[in-house]
Structure 1
Amino acid sequence: MQNTLSLDDAAELLGCSPAFVRTMITKGRLEPDTDGQLQRSQVEALAELIAKLKDGGFSAMVSGMAPED
């Protein structure tokens, strides 16, 4: 399994459009490396948050945005 993903691969993993991935980059939720690749772990963490939001609504969003220690 690759540790990095292209923008298109990240969109596929997230089940969204490449435009949404670019938005997440612009907002600082995802950070591409110097080659424009995204860390799989960041994309998977975002996928987890999206799944929580779909399942749990606002309370999941608040807990999902809490800073990590």
Structure 2
Amino acid sequence: MAGVRRFEVVEHLSNTELNQAIEEVQKADETRFVRRLCCVKNLYDRKTQQQAGEAVGVSQPTSSRWARAWNES
């Protein structure tokens, strides 16, 4: 994908910790939070904000907002 900028996401958690967090919120039936964490995981996996958002069913601006919130936390 020429010309597509990748978003630099702060890795507050390791991949293992992020996977564990996703499992925990799934068990707690926190769908909205699961989507946000999965979006962040997609960014960890070097997806663009557009790709990360599409994978969880949200727009690029929403993905961007979630990523900024993650980085600031």
**Which range, TM-score by smaller chain?**
0.3 to 0.5
Give the TM-score, by structure 2 length: 0.33
Which structure has more strand as a fraction of its residues?
1
